Structure 1
Amino acid sequence: MPVAGALCHLKILELTDKGDGVGRIDGIPLYVEGALPGEEIEAELTLVKPNYLHGRLQRVLEPSEHRVADFCAHTDCGGCQVRTLAYPAQLEYKHQLVVKALHQQGLQAEVLPVLGMEHPFAWRNKAQFAVRPTGNGPAIGFYRKHSHELVACDDCAVQDPFHETLLARLRQWIASEGVSAYDETQHSGELRHVMTRKGFATGEWMLVLVTRSETLPGEAALLALLADLPLTTVVHNIHPEPGNRVLGATNRVLCGDGVITDRLHDLEFVISPLSFYQVNPRQTDVLYGKALEFAGLTGDETVFDLYCGIGTISLFLAQQAARVVGIELVAEAIADARRNAERNDIHNVEFHIGQAEVVVPELYAAGERADVVVVDPPRKGCDAALLRTLVEMAPQRLVYVSCNPQTLARDLAWLCQHGFALDGVQPVDMFPHTLHVEVVARLRRA
């Protein structure tokens, strides 16, 4: 039996969905962060369990032909999982993840090549920095992989460089005003998180400061320090509850309107601190454009958009449909969706608050029918009650947008067993340098 601290030579066979290389020692899987498929490596065992092992990469003895230089100095950050895998190889690996998930469910549909980015850097429009106490005072950064240990990381390659300037000002405010950092274990201290959002098309910036109590220390000094920065709005979010959720329910607007705007596909969207809005706007345009293409609208259809968020897909669809019905659980998102419809002078769309698996059966029982349905559920996929109702409703086309190939394949297989045929699968790379992949699938009534 292997022991911790031992050095092992092994060949890496594949990657996990977290980006770790996987090989085998005496038949036991060994997970090694930073190792790539096809490589011969030397790893030090750091964790030994009866059914699996963890190791730390020591040397790459035979590198993969797809290995590239690491573009980031913050090797402990848990964000970009496959920084040393060449971008074309990342896209191919994501393609295979989708193919494999479908095949495991007995689905043989053609999966189109992944739509990637020309320049896969500085693509995020949202950043969430934790603020935690250290021996040298409060620190701002991201979490180390598989932990809540902080890694200072101002110069993140997938974030806007503006964060370096902004975080320097915030550290200056923290030091001068004696702002305490939030301690998760003691549920003490004030400043919990710093969140930013950027409108890529508009250049607008939002800064959100999350505190445990209703008081923001040194508020006037903070606003004075930020006065010359290109911030559209600054918001104080109050989050008094323990736990690792980033935002609380209450916002105080310190300057600006408390929202920013962005444009997608010639539409303008209002984004509040609590709004769900895809973090890669360039690829969001690609993703939603493909969903619109798959919907195949002629202008006469009634469309249901389930899990509609702030109405982004709904408004895309409404430009080519007779009527769109959006459904979303989060009340704040529905408020934003209605505001976005009004802002874009779109009047053939209506929004309902509630769980899709509850609202859709209610609408169907009341006589509502959809010619086309678009679903964009969370990672867990669609609820069984919703899928049953969709089968009974029998729309002509069903467009399924998913961030999880496994639950997508599960739901597609069930729908194909109950009257639908799968005839289009398009992955889109929304998260370069990770193994996350979005997929748009089209089903037709068989």
Structure 2
Amino acid sequence: MKMDYSIGDRLELEIVDLNNEGMGVGKYKGFTFFVEGCTLGDKVLFEIIKLKKNYGLGRTIEILEESPYRIESKCIYSDKCDGCELHNLKYDKQLELKRNIVKSNLERIGKIKDIIVKETIGMEYPYRYRNKGEFKVGPNYEIGYFKRGTHDIYPVESSIIQKETADKVIRLLKEFMKKYKVEGYDRKVKKGIIKNLVVRTNKDNKVMVVIVTKGEKLPHKKELIDIFTSQPELDVVSIYQNINPRDTSVILGAKDIKLYGEERLIDYIGEYKFLISPKSFFQVNHVQTKVLYNKVVEYLNLKGHETVADLYCGIGTISIYISKYARKVYGVEVVKEAI
């Protein structure tokens, strides 16, 4: 297709869909553009920032006509960072979009035709639900998420999808770093100490804090422990240092050093108790996990005589949850730290 436009040009576009990354999708003279800064149903003026053979990328300059599905995001950082997408879209449309993405991927990638994908089961309050937060740490004591489309950190003090405990941990770590001049990791010059922050919270609001460092050096460990454990409004039961020397997108490295408290964080799904390490895979949404697992039980329709294999089971939450419905359940996992 011969293009009569180039990088830097500004075009008008109707957004007819959203992709997996929350970017608006539209066609201009039959050519597909993915545009950031808009939502489903918007009509926008956008600037072309990249052109490929089969598609282009753009940035919204102005919203010419607002979508009837558009709402004001509860997140004050939503237009800048990559912490969450779709929060400027009505929740029922978010659920519809997620269903359509699954159906499209099964048909387009999996080549599965005529498949039934049922409606997405939503939450009553789809905010403040995540029991695990992962944040980047960088120069000038910045803690937050990457700015959309870059590896520059956009600092945040609060995250609408994380539990409030994560906000408090961010504030305390920033105070510690400033007071004791402990530098965050500069990904451009490959210097600094603290790279990432991981916060895990259980149903009882007990907290595991994981400080990810470039090397084993972490000054003022005692003061770090004191600042996290002396807060009456924060119940920190475990603090770890994780060593990650590699400059990749992977948050955690291979080595964990326990600095304080319990080896594991105890959490629950239904009547079952689970011991969670810094690297354990555990569903991040307590409310929806129980909904999901009850749906698994319903669809399996076990009679009590079956043997079930749960592949890539992680900590074994599904295996254990369905165990009382089957004769035997095997959980299979190759990553030791995930168990």
Q: Which segment drifts farther, 268-277 or 248-257?
A: 248-257
Alpha-carbon distance between aligned partners in 2 of 1:103 and 1:244, rounded to the nearest angstrom: 29
Q: Which residue of 2 aligns with 1:368?
A: none
Q: 2:101 aligns with which of 90, 97, 101?
A: 97
Structure 1 residue 145: Cα displacement:
2.1
Q: Deviations over 1:118-141 (max 9, x none)?
A: 1000111111111112xxx23111
Q: Which residue of 2 aligns with 1:304?
A: 309
Structure 1 residue 49: Cα displacement:
4.2
Matches within 5 A, 1:303-382: 303-334=308-339
Alpha-carbon distance between aligned partners in 1 of 2:59 and 2:331, rounded to the nearest angstrom: 48
Structure 1 residue 16: Cα displacement:
1.4
CA contact (8 A) 1:298 1:321 kept: yes
CA contact (8 A) 2:206 2:236 kept: yes
Q: 2:191 aligns with which of 188, 191, 194?
A: 188
Identical aligned residues as a percent: 34
Would the alpha carbon gap of residues 244 and 15 (structure 1) be closer, same or farther in structure 2, given more than 3 Å must change? closer
Q: Which residue of 2 aligns with 1:33?
A: 36
**CA RMSD, aligned part only?**
1.8
SS at match of 1:234: strand
Structure 1 residue 275: Cα displacement:
0.4
Q: Does 1:77 align with 2:84?
A: no
Q: Deviations over 1:30-65 (max 9, x none)?
A: 221132333322122333445432222122222222
Structure 2 stretches lacking a partner, 5+ long: none
SS at match of 2:185: coil
**TM-score with structure 1 setting the length:** 0.70
Matches within 5 A, 1:4-23: 4-23=7-26
Alpha-carbon distance between aligned partners in 1 of 2:107 and 2:332, rounded to the nearest angstrom: 31
Q: Which residue of 2 aligns with 1:259?
A: 264
Q: Which residue of 1 aligns with 2:71?
A: 68
Q: Which residue of 2 aligns with 1:353?
A: none
Would the alpha carbon gap of residues 141 and 102 (structure 1) be closer, same or farther in structure 2, given more than 3 Å must change? closer
Q: Does 1:152 align with 2:155?
A: yes
Count of residues paired in the alignment: 330
Structure 1 stretches lacking a partner, 5+ long: 335-446
CA contact (8 A) 2:242 2:253 kept: yes
SS at match of 1:319: helix
Alpha-carbon distance between aligned partners in 2 of 1:332 and 1:6, rounded to the nearest angstrom: 50
Q: Deviations over 1:343-400 (max 9, x none)?
A: xxxxxxxxxxxxxxxxxxxxxxxxxxxxxxxxxxxxxxxxxxxxxxxxxxxxxxxxxx
Structure 1 residue 91: Cα displacement:
0.8
Structure 1 residue 102: Cα displacement:
4.2
Q: Which residue of 1 aligns with 2:92?
A: 88
Q: Does 1:198 align with 2:201?
A: yes
Q: Report 1 or 2 for greater relative contact order, CA contacts < 8 Å, sequence distance ≥ 6.
A: 1
CA contact (8 A) 1:2 1:48 kept: no
Would the alpha carbon gap of residues 39 and 212 (structure 1) be closer, same or farther in structure 2, given more than 3 Å must change? closer
**TM-score with structure 2 setting the length:** 0.91
| Letter paired with 1:156 | S
Q: 2:179 aligns with which of 160, 176, 183?
A: 176
Alpha-carbon distance between aligned partners in 1 of 2:159 and 2:88, rounded to the nearest angstrom: 15
Would the alpha carbon gap of residues 172 and 250 (structure 1) be closer, same or farther in structure 2, given more than 3 Å must change? same
CA contact (8 A) 2:40 2:89 kept: no
**Between Structure 1 and Structure 2, whose CA radius of gyration is higher?**
1
Q: Deviations over 1:146-176 (max 9, x none)?
A: 2211011121110112233222221121112
Alpha-carbon distance between aligned partners in 2 of 1:182 and 1:37, rounded to the nearest angstrom: 37
Structure 1 residue 26: Cα displacement:
3.3
Alpha-carbon distance between aligned partners in 1 of 2:21 and 2:247, rounded to the nearest angstrom: 27
Structure 1 residue 69: Cα displacement:
1.3
Structure 1 residue 6: Cα displacement:
2.8
SS at match of 1:36: coil
Would the alpha carbon gap of residues 100 and 251 (structure 1) be closer, same or farther in structure 2, given more than 3 Å must change? closer
CA contact (8 A) 1:9 1:40 kept: yes
Q: Which residue of 2 aligns with 1:285?
A: 290
Q: Which residue of 1 aligns with 2:275?
A: 270
Q: Which residue of 2 aligns with 1:392?
A: none
Q: Does 1:234 align with 2:236?
A: no
Alpha-carbon distance between aligned partners in 1 of 2:274 and 2:34, rounded to the nearest angstrom: 42
